[in-house]
Amino acid sequence: MSDPAKTLESLFGPLGPNNPLPTPLSMIEHPAVDALVDAGADPNRVSGEHASSLLIDACIWFPKPSVVWLLERGGKPDLQDKFGRTAAMCMLLYRLSHQAADGEAGLVEILEQLASHGAHLDIAASDGDTLLKVSQKNHQAQVEAWLLA
């Protein structure tokens, strides 16, 4: 059997702390991504024009199991992008545009996961928006009720 780290190096280049995890985490088997992290890839590396973490991207684009996987592998839920938005904030703002099948119940499930992994749900973005304000603006009644509970 071939060495998974060597296979990953052939696909993504040298592995180590300066190499990000591949953004299309949702398209890769988790054992392969496990090997990347085991080889030193940083699940909290910030990149892109918005200076977002992979967890922020996952909360917008990726299936729920990928979000949970990142949290379990050390993803920091309170990292903020250049606008001061956390993974939870970006999820409320953008996830349903890309993962509509999740519905509000799916947003609450991810919020529960983020909170159980240490997310501080009271962090305001640079513009002063909070999770509660965003849930109210977006008419996300289930999210609002969960935040107030």
pLDDT in tens, 4-30: 445 445 544 554 445 445 444 554 456
Distance of CA 14 to the CA centre of its chain: 24
End-to-end CA distance of the chain: 51
Closest listed residue to residue 47, CA positions, set 19, 11, 68? 19
pLDDT at residue 54 above 90? no
pLDDT at residue 83 above 90? yes
**Residue range 47-60: average pLDDT?**
87
pTM of the model: 0.78
**Residue range 115-142: average pLDDT?**
97
